Amino acid sequence: MIPLAVPNLNGNEREYLNKCIDTTFVSSVGEFVGRMEEMSAELSGCRYGVATSSGTTGLHLALMGVGVERDDLVIVPTYTFIATANAVAHCGALPWLFDMNQDDWCIDVNLIEKALDSECKMESGKVTHIKSGRRVAAIMPVYVLGNIPDMEKINAIAQKYKLPVVADAACAIGAEYNGNKTGDLAALSVFSFNGNKTVTAGGGGVVVGNDEMLMKKIKHISTTARVTAEYDFDMVGYNYRMTNIQAAVGVAQLEQLHSFLKRKKDIRQYYKNALEDIKGISIFPATEGSSCWFSGMVLPDGKSIRDVRRVIGKLKEKGIEARSFWKPVHLQPPYASAPRTAMENADRLWDRMITLPCSTGITDEELESVCKAIYELCRG
Ligand SMILES: *Cc1c(COP(=O)(O)O)cnc(C)c1O
């Protein structure tokens, strides 16, 4: 079987894990946690990093950090993994769902200003969504597939309405924007190190940012808000820490980031060259500087999730693992009451997407057999 996306553990992972065991530093204190934070901050061009138990808990912390509270609204794209919306809900807030852009699959930036201008009022620095009476507390763009949306425009809107920007960069480690690192595109950016991401720690996340006070606050909330070693706490905190074992794997993986990114980009290019002349098929989009986390194809207009299932079944018969991709948040029952824009692009696109094998360890021969199988299918 050619798997969809499996970790590539051929660096120092084993050595660093043994070091955790030999030194007994297996829990949330240890040298690798600090290195994980430093390396993540450095690669995103930020001064500080806070390691977390997952990308989701990192997002929750980031939203708490910028002051998202119960009953607030947070602007998020509908086209994302459910964790983006869940992090908002974990704050007691509600996502305000926006349609995706068909070019980069990120939030449709033009809709944000339109919606804020026409559906909100601004009084003494507070933005209120008129219909629901809720405060709009933040904008959270998602770097879908490692693609960066028009962050200049998002930041201009955010500035106009005095809203903090938190970037869900969970699947976008190593992405660039106009040739630069992405950490300063938002007040806080959050990476995930889940097993299917470009770089894994088994599980985990890192929040990066430049504001020292804000980063200290996030570290504080993530470590049960402990003030002294004598069990003094100053608020209801969380145990959202990353363990040294996770960080040992993560550090060994980050050491290989450069080669992983190159392979991810090559894989996408391989699929693009091989598949794009099949009539009606398109390849997952990549912005300039995209980290190309996942590769895949979009079936022609008019196809649906039934066709996606059929193609996935046929590929499975040939020993190739493929899957459908994210089902948008506006179609998920837990978010039935979330306010939303019209969803023309998301509704038109999501049920024709198929992710294809794209592990960094995939060989060219394997890529060739995937493409051959797709060719045969599409001819038949
Ligand atoms: C993976 C992912 C998450 C969640 O990260 P976990 O580490 O699995 O909690 C959130 N948002 C996006 C866009 C992701 O791809």
CA-nearest residue for atom 2, ligand 1, is 170
Contacts 24+ apart (CB under 8 A), 10-15: 10/256, 10/361, 11/252, 11/253, 11/255, 11/256, 12/251, 12/252, 12/255, 13/248, 13/249, 13/252, 13/253, 15/252
Q: What is the pLDDT of residue 95?
A: 98
The angle that helices 244-254 and 31-43 make with each other, rounded to 10 degrees, is: 40
pTM of the model: 0.98
Q: What is the pLDDT of residue 322?
A: 98
| Contacting residues for 359 by C-beta, under 8 A, at least 6 apart | 3, 4, 5, 6, 7, 8
Ligand 1 in contact with 80 (CB < 6 A)? yes
Q: What is the pLDDT of residue 379?
A: 74
Q: What is the pLDDT of residue 46?
A: 98
**How far does residue 62's CA lie from ligand 1's centre (Å)?**
14
Ligand 1 in contact with 205 (CB < 6 A)? yes
Which of 192, 198, 246 for mutating ligand 1's site (highest number of atoms within 8 Å of CB)?
A: 192
**How far does residue 365's CA lie from ligand 1's centre (Å)?**
30
The Cα–Cα gap between 278 and 258 comes to 31
Q: What is the mean pLDDT of each run of 10 residues along the chain (380 residues)?
A: 97 98 95 98 98 98 98 98 98 98 98 98 94 98 98 98 98 96 97 97 98 98 96 97 98 98 98 93 97 98 96 98 98 98 98 98 98 88
Q: What is the pLDDT of residue 284?
A: 98
| Closest C-alpha among 62, 159, 166 to residue 113 | 159
Q: What is the pLDDT of residue 378?
A: 83
Q: What is the pLDDT of residue 380?
A: 59
DSSP 60-78: HHHHHHTT--TT-EEEEES
CA-nearest residue for atom 6, ligand 1, is 55
